Amino acid sequence: MRLQALAAALSLPHASLPDLPVRGVTHNADWAGPGDVFVAIRGARFDGHSFLDRVQQAGAVAVLGEGLPDGVASPLPYLRVPDARAALADAAAALSGHPSRELWVVGVTGTDGKTTTAWLTRHLLRAAGLQTGLLSTVGYELPDGELRHFPAHFTTPEAPQVQATLRELVTAGADAAVLEASSHALALDRVRGVAWAVAVWTHLSREHLDFHGTVENYFAEKRKLIERARCAVLNADDPWTARLTGLAPQETTYSAEGAAADWKAQAIEEKAQGLTFRVASPLGEFQAGLPMIGRFNVANALAAMAAAAQLGVTAEQLIAGLASFRGVPGRMELVPGRETAPRVIVDFTHTPPSLEKALATLRTTTPGQLWVLLGSAGGPRDPGKRAPLGEVATRLADHAVFTEEDCRDTPLADILREMERGAQEAGRGNFTTIADRAEAIAWTIRRAQPGDTVLLAGKGPEDTLERAHETISWDEVARAQAALATWTPAGR
């Protein structure tokens, strides 16, 4: 695309612009290169206008921004836009040729359950014969099934990466794509310009209030996905759903807890090999089995089935697809080990409600003691959940171990003290604090006995651990496997 055509696509004056080829668009000065358009965004710490000379030297051909600061001159053609982040997304979509218009795109949002629901939906679509890609917290996949990772540590990558990945999916022959849509992605326009065929709403609870300020603001950002989709799949068990009804042209509902809904689960049984339940749906009634731990995954399965059905998947295909699902990395992931050793499970759970669900689920299938190891993120993350995490952990587990989890610029001692306070104010002392996560994992597994279950909560599939002054490579499953390799029954 050429610069004049891009400006026209953004409804900007373009007749006087040089007729130069445009290679891409970015808001990161370090990523700018020959032929790029640079979007100057005024952020909390930096103003993109400070980097105009640098991007010119890198070969950028134009700048988009909300207005030059006083005393600043642009060395490149400057196109004024009402919203720089929106312009970044719109330019990325235009330069990629609006790839989402060539796919069925399913978006999944909510506080808990996004990743599992996204992976389940992707699996059901693939099992039904649709070439399907995925963008999730775990990484992204093309239809070849190989899991890849973005270099930036975002729940959802920035708009240029989203659009480039969707174009890559189209080029690879994909029919559909499933995207996790976080509140940050929606608020910061990272997924603006995506044509959503189906939007799935899982559940809403307190999270990311450091960014959104209030739960109402948090809800408002997530609601955008429902407003922009052709069809909404809504959780009838979530009280926030009452405020989502009627926003999309079409909608369908689901319930795993007995509410009136189009898709309902009945006669739910949790067995050692997984879940079984009866489904009542617009496709008829049928028996389903899902080889996953956790009764709460029934709701995720219903949401995924309802979404897949919107794209033409049949009841028979849904049954077969669920039965062949093998789980999500870092989501109730069972760590391989000897049968005589304690069961160790890695899960991304990091909010009080999701931790409560995970521990309640594991309690029902643990004949021995239940251990949980957890931390709480620092930096700008919501500090209000730290004490509740400590309370939940010590109430539902026999032993809790408090440790680090991406403390960033928050003193780790402050985070651990808050989790301890939550336990102590509830009158519980069944916890140990070990600041170093690797040491904490080894200590916990060494003390667990046959029949015990150890839940390693918070990190899941993440491949880094962020400390105050360093970021180190991390593999939670590998750390657990190393501890299990030296485990003996006399470890206590």
Selection from 157, 180, 171, 44 nearest residue 92 by Cα: 157
Report CA Rg, the chain: 24
Tally of domains in the chain: 3
Quick check: is 104 in a domain? yes
276 marked ligand binding residue: no
Per-residue pLDDT, 157: 82
Question: Are residues 103 and 88 part of one domain?
Answer: no
**Together in a domain, 65 and 168:** no
pLDDT tens-digit series, residues 399-450:
999 999 999 889 999 999 999 999 999 999 999 999 999 999 999 999 999 9
Q: Are 307 and 132 in contact (CB under 8 A)?
A: no
Listed residues 298, 323, 348: the one ending a domain: 323
Q: Which of 198, 200, 231 is nearest to 301 (CA)?
A: 200
- Report yes or no on 116 lying in a domain: yes
Q: Is residue 58 part of a domain?
A: yes
Same structural domain for residues 206 and 345? no
Q: Which of 95, 116, 150 is a domain's end point?
A: 95
Q: Among candidates 240, 291, 286, which has minimal Cα distance to 264?
A: 286
8 A C-beta contact, residue 64 and residue 88:
yes
Residues 174 and 243 in one domain: yes
Is residue 190 a known part of a binding site? Answer: yes
Determine if residue 253 is labeled as part of a ligand binding site: no
Using the structure block, give the residue that is written with the tokens 């809904």. Answer: 261
Q: Is residue 113 part of a domain?
A: yes
Percentage of the chain beyond pLDDT 90 is 75
Query: CA 47 → CA 29, 43, 71, 185, distances in Å?
Result: 11, 6, 14, 20
User: 360 and 250 share a domain?
Assistant: no
| Annotated binding residue 114 | yes
252 in the same domain as 137: yes
Annotated ligand binding at 182? The verdict is yes
Model pLDDT, residue 206: 62
Query: Is the residue at 492 inside a domain?
Result: no
Instruction: Tell whether 314 and 342 lie within a shared domain.
Output: no
467-486 confidence digits (pLDDT tens): 989 999 999 999 999 999 99
- Confirm whether residue 361 is marked as ligand binding: no
Q: Are 420 and 433 in contact (CB under 8 A)?
A: yes
Instruction: Let me know whether 242 and 121 are in one domain.
Output: yes
First to last CA, the chain: 66
Report if residue 301 sits inside a domain: yes
CATH number at residue 305: 3.40.1190.10
The reply to whether 352 and 401 lie within a common domain is yes
Are 298 and 369 in a shared domain? no
User: Does residue 328 form part of some domain?
Assistant: no
Structural domain of residue 419, as residue ranges?
A: 333-485
Residue range 138-167, pLDDT digits in tens: 678 888 877 787 654 444 588 999 999 999
Q: Which of 323, 352, 375 is the last residue of a domain?
A: 323
Indicate the SS3 state at residue 221. Answer: helix
pLDDT of residue 378: 80
Q: How far apart are CA 434 and CA 450, in angstroms?
A: 23
165 is in an annotated binding site: no
Task: Indicate which CATH number applies to the domain containing 57.
Answer: 3.40.1390.10
Tell whether residue 155 is among the known ligand binding residues. Answer: yes
pTM: 0.76
Any domain includes 491: no
* Window from 58-67, 104-113, 266-275, 458-467 with minimum mean pLDDT: 266-275
Three-state DSSP class for residue 34? coil
26 in a known ligand binding site = no
Residue 256 and residue 221 share a domain = yes
- Quick one: 87 and 126 in the same domain? no
